[in-house]
Structure 1
């Protein structure tokens, strides 16, 4: 009876501590999928760097970097002379000037403008615009990879959260079993071995729960790093999963080549190589330039000069043509290399298309397979739940041993955790398929 009272007292204290924990603990804020995406887009280091790259590319494609605007320079100078001069004239007279002073001033505004450079400037300008498009595609690829990384961690947190709930329930059942075993032992309905077995199971369930909780805390830190949050920030995640309609996925598959970011990026590289080739060919054509100058000059001469002061200003302009008839073969070599680079890029395009076809086929197969596994695991949980309930009734009636009851409990735990794993595996497989079809950023999470 003394052991029975101690058992009741221990259960009462556990219940009290659990209640105090619930009432005094701070409820963690829920981090929805949409909020996680928003934080990632705003704060993720990789995305911030990609955004800066876009700004640089935007600056480069600006008219100020195109070469279409003229160069305007300003020049100014001032010269001061102090000379000792001995001037001998034709009539034999000699004039000596000591410390004769003179000064000169001039200023000019110069304009240089290339009227025609063999269209090299035009194609280079188009190349810069295409380089901007390529940078945007690279940033999009960075965002897609980051979002996929985000949800890989997010769904892992959701899976561990569900596992913690499963293990808590398991631990509660095992603790109830200890209480029942103690009652039965006090009344001589079982042996001490049944009590010890129940205690061992509680210890194992407690260890599993502790380890899973720690893994959950560590994974939350990983997510805080992705969204650039305080690493100690705690939160809960949304464990609901909605799959995209299969008809919608079929539509995405039909236009996958039009939207796949890797294919689009390589197509952009092909255009850039085409412009490089045209820029190289512009070396065969002449360059026509315009030069203009407006200048002002003033000379204050010394006494030995014929004119004491001379001031002038005026405008001059010229058009010049330069044609590099032969540059030692540099232009020919550049054109040959540009053609080879373009051909290489086109070969890579063919290779990339084959790789994307394979990746999409594999991703689609994985997605369909994991959906089937998830359906099977859902049914498996129902079966094991029914089996556990029946085993629990029979155990309470003394019709099965504690070992048989524990096995039914373990089977249920495995079925529940396998179902949770299958659910998030299927969703991640779907996201990978959507990324390959270029639709990852166009769906509702």
Structure 2
């Protein structure tokens, strides 16, 4: 019993200590997390790669220019058979050649394939931006959910501490009455059992609060995941003014998953255009300017030098490739159709999610209002029960029932307001407005 008192005393004392001079409200937690979270930093680097790739040169619009040089040499033994039947042998004939030059290759036209490739790179660049936004929105939703979960767990911790204090007061009353002989040992033992049960729940809840806090610190990528956070918010206040029609309109225009699916469809159409480009001829330009020197170990010429320009144009078209172009284009059209079906399937899924989340949101709002009223009744009921218990008009079991009713009412209200907040977060994420938690004064749906 003394050990339990000691643990409870330490936890009650620790709850009054400010571990940080700064308040970690939701917006500050989000700002820290956006700056430090590893997943966000990784996806931002990946977005930078797509930005770097979206260039004219990578698409093939620009020519390639190469500078090359080389040196070769031969040492030969030469035998010549003459027409008169004699032969001439020369051993160790050394001949060498050196060259240096600049070469240009440029595809002027390839059936609009270059244009299709550049359009694909630009689409991938926008896809990278959407993937970054998707990661950020998921992060904001996860951190906001954990932030409010920590508040809920702290509210429950506070309620359990209150329950322990009530059980302790009841135990004190029973002990005093037991020692003067007005209560039985059974009453005393029951009061101790109830006090120990409440103390056990409180100790377990401390672990739950710790887990939620470390999870929040992990999302913010803090070096010390056990760092204590002073959260100024002690209540969860859902937004009761969401509008279903407005949310759905935003969903159809701003939902990131929907925008990504639309980009996938556009990429499929571009791939088809790129394949169709093979039906057209291609035109390639090549040119070079260089210097060549040849040293001969035999013959009448010792050294030959050449400096000049070479150029040419290549025009061609693929006549027959085993019907592969037809097959690939047919498959590409099927892929476009599949992307359209996936887009329709996603829209249907979004409608389903919106309907379910909206129903849950409205129901939890009603539950929240109802549980607030129930809590007031439960508090009054317990106050009356406690006074009657002190006067000896109520048994310990009946007082315990009133106490449990109060704790359950507090828990139901906390769950209702937390669930309402989760539905609110889900609806805002679905409609592409989740970043309003970070920028409440601005419309960041197109971030």
The alpha-carbon deviation at position 61 of structure 1 amounts to 1.6
Write out per-residue CA displacement over residues 375-414 of structure 1, whole angstroms, 9 at most, x where no aligned residue: 1111111010111111111111222112111111111011
Secondary structure of the residue that 2:18 maps to in structure 1? coil
Write out per-residue CA displacement over residues 9-60 of structure 1, whole angstroms, 9 at most, x where no aligned residue: x89x969994897389863335321232223323333333322321222222
Secondary structure of the residue that 2:65 maps to in structure 1? strand
Tell me what 1:398 maps to.
Answer: 392
Among 260, 263, 268, the alignment partner of 2:258 is 263
The alpha-carbon deviation at position 184 of structure 1 amounts to 2.1
Cα distance in structure 2, aligned partners of 1:317 and 1:25: 85
Tell me what 1:361 maps to.
Answer: 355
Among 211, 214, 222, the alignment partner of 1:221 is 214
After superposition, where does 1:187-202 map in structure 2 within 5 Å?
Answer: 187-202=180-195
Among 159, 174, 199, the alignment partner of 1:181 is 174
CA RMSD of aligned residues (A): 3.2
The structure-2 alpha-carbon separation of the partners of 1:352 and 1:80, relative to structure 1 and needing over 3 Å to count, comes to closer
After superposition, where does 1:255-294 map in structure 2 within 5 Å?
Answer: 255-294=250-289
The structure-2 alpha-carbon separation of the partners of 1:305 and 1:386, relative to structure 1 and needing over 3 Å to count, comes to same
The structure-2 alpha-carbon separation of the partners of 1:15 and 1:311, relative to structure 1 and needing over 3 Å to count, comes to closer
CA contact (8 A) 2:69 2:101 kept: yes
CA contact (8 A) 2:145 2:425 kept: no
Among 269, 287, 296, the alignment partner of 2:291 is 296
CA contact (8 A) 2:27 2:437 kept: no
Secondary structure of the residue that 1:73 maps to in structure 2? strand
Cα distance in structure 2, aligned partners of 1:24 and 1:279: 65
The alpha-carbon deviation at position 336 of structure 1 amounts to 0.7
Tell me what 1:41 maps to.
Answer: 34
Secondary structure of the residue that 1:103 maps to in structure 2? strand
Greater displacement, 283-292 / 253-262? 253-262
User: Please, what TM-score do these two structures have when normalized by structure 1?
Assistant: 0.88
Cα distance in structure 1, aligned partners of 2:11 and 2:333: 76
**Count of aligned pairs between the two proteins:** 435
Listed as ranges, the gaps of 5+ residues in structure 1 are 1-6
The structure-2 alpha-carbon separation of the partners of 1:340 and 1:223, relative to structure 1 and needing over 3 Å to count, comes to same
Tell me what 2:199 maps to.
Answer: 206
Greater displacement, 330-339 / 254-263? 254-263
After superposition, where does 1:133-144 map in structure 2 within 5 Å?
Answer: 133-144=126-137
Cα distance in structure 2, aligned partners of 1:88 and 1:350: 82
The alpha-carbon deviation at position 221 of structure 1 amounts to 2.7
Matched, 1:54 2:29: no
Rg (Cα) greater in structure: 1
The alpha-carbon deviation at position 155 of structure 1 amounts to 2.2
Tell me what 2:305 maps to.
Answer: 311
Secondary structure of the residue that 1:319 maps to in structure 2? strand
Cα distance in structure 1, aligned partners of 2:376 and 2:361: 23
Cα distance in structure 2, aligned partners of 1:318 and 1:391: 103
After superposition, where does 1:52-91 map in structure 2 within 5 Å?
Answer: 52-81=45-74
User: Please, what TM-score do these two structures have when normalized by structure 2?
Assistant: 0.87
Listed as ranges, the gaps of 5+ residues in structure 2 are 441-447
After superposition, where does 1:317-332 map in structure 2 within 5 Å?
Answer: 317-332=311-326
